[in-house]
Structure 1
Amino acid sequence: MTTIALIGFMGSGKTTIGQRLARSMEIPFVDTDDEIVNRVGMSVPEIFDHFGEQYFRSVESEILKSLSKKKCVVATGGGIIKLDTNRQMLRSDDFLTVWLDLTFDTVMKRIANDESRPLWNQDVEKRMSLFNSRQALYDDSSHFSVNVDGQPVEELIEEIKRYIYSYTMFGTKRQSDENR
């Protein structure tokens, strides 16, 4: 079995959905941000303050690589798709990558005042620009997308599991373009 990776913008539910998906599949759950914090010994905002985003992304890439071909569900950081090497890994046969897609309005409702996200702490125009700049990268990095706006978590998990089953039975990794 390949590693199931969940990608998407901040607030898309990667951790919540990932934990419940892993539990329902009876496989381990890993959050790349937690792994980075454990490895570096600082919070994400502290890492950004002390070492910068580039350092954070390099550690993130190392952790992603270490998780390839593991039987687990991985919740990635929202910016993991910024590096070409990460997008290539996520598209590879080592991962089955699911994009948790949502609208900017939903993001605003979910994390409007969340100060624990260093790249979110800016004005609304810059937040929207960051959101928009990542959409094509998520699409390029994923095998399958699920719209999470207003969907109950259990329904999302069942949809993801149906896709995983379809992949394991029929070997079709990329969701057809007409369904995306």
Structure 2
Amino acid sequence: MEPHEPLRRRTIALVGLMGVGKSSVGRRLAMTLGLPFRDADSEVEAAAGRSISEIFSALGEPAFRDGERRVIARLLEGPPHVLATGGGAFMNDETRALIKARAISVWLKADLDILARRVGRKDTRPLIADKDPLEVLKAQAEIRYPVYAEADVVVETGDAAHHITVAQVIEALNAHLGETAK
């Protein structure tokens, strides 16, 4: 059997705070495993015909989260792939239940100072617009970490290069699959 074959049988859903690398690590993970990659944020933008920032400003966060939930449900109906979810997606009870039923969830976790430095470089994130990124991330971590902890696998990424994080994710997934096979 090919070494990554067991990891190709179910969708792998990456969850975690903004800036942790769900999209960039997800792309590399998908390439390594020979799976398609899907980015929930990009899929929401395509479905809505506008950017996430535009959705937030025109319709508000609840409308965005509703569209995100519908898009993730549709993606989870498809064949196995690597799915980068939005930072708040796993907070939705229905989305979390769907991910638990149809995917293996991986919480990518990094130090908040590292994340603040990363997200502070971009102005495309509506939740931190005109705010201190570290303060926003601290508030999100307080609310989201207990829910992210429900993920099947947790990978502490630190500030490692993406290929190292991909290797950590694969190792953690193999360990998880080995435990669930017992």
TM-score (norm: length of structure 2): 0.86
Shift of residue 136 of structure 1?
Answer: 1.1
Closer, same or farther: CA 163–148 of 1 in aligned 2, 3 Å:
closer
Out of 38, 57, 68, the position equivalent to 1:30 is: 38
Q: Tell me, which stretches of 5 or more residues in structure 1 are unaligned?
A: 174-180
Moved over 6 A (4+): none
> What's the Cα RMSD here?
1.9
The answer for the alignment partner of 1:41 in structure 2 is 49
The answer for the alignment partner of 1:91 in structure 2 is 100
Q: Tell me, which stretches of 5 or more residues in structure 2 are unaligned?
A: 1-8
Shift of residue 67 of structure 1?
Answer: 2.0
Out of 131, 135, 144, the position equivalent to 2:141 is: 131
The answer for the alignment partner of 2:164 in structure 1 is 155
Give the conservation status (yes or no) of the 8 Å contact 1:68–1:95. Answer: yes
Closer, same or farther: CA 66–112 of 1 in aligned 2, 3 Å:
same
Shift of residue 115 of structure 1?
Answer: 1.6
Q: Secondary structure at the match of 1:68?
A: helix
TM-score (norm: length of structure 1): 0.87
Give the conservation status (yes or no) of the 8 Å contact 1:2–1:68. Answer: no
The answer for the alignment partner of 1:12 in structure 2 is 20
Shift of residue 138 of structure 1?
Answer: 1.1
What amino acid sits opposite 1:155 in the alignment?
Answer: I
Identity %: 29
Q: Give the distance between the partners of 1:104 and 1:169, measured in 2 at CA.
A: 31
> Quick check: 1:117 aligned with 2:121?
no
Shift of residue 167 of structure 1?
Answer: 4.2
Aligned length: 171
Shift of residue 127 of structure 1?
Answer: 4.2
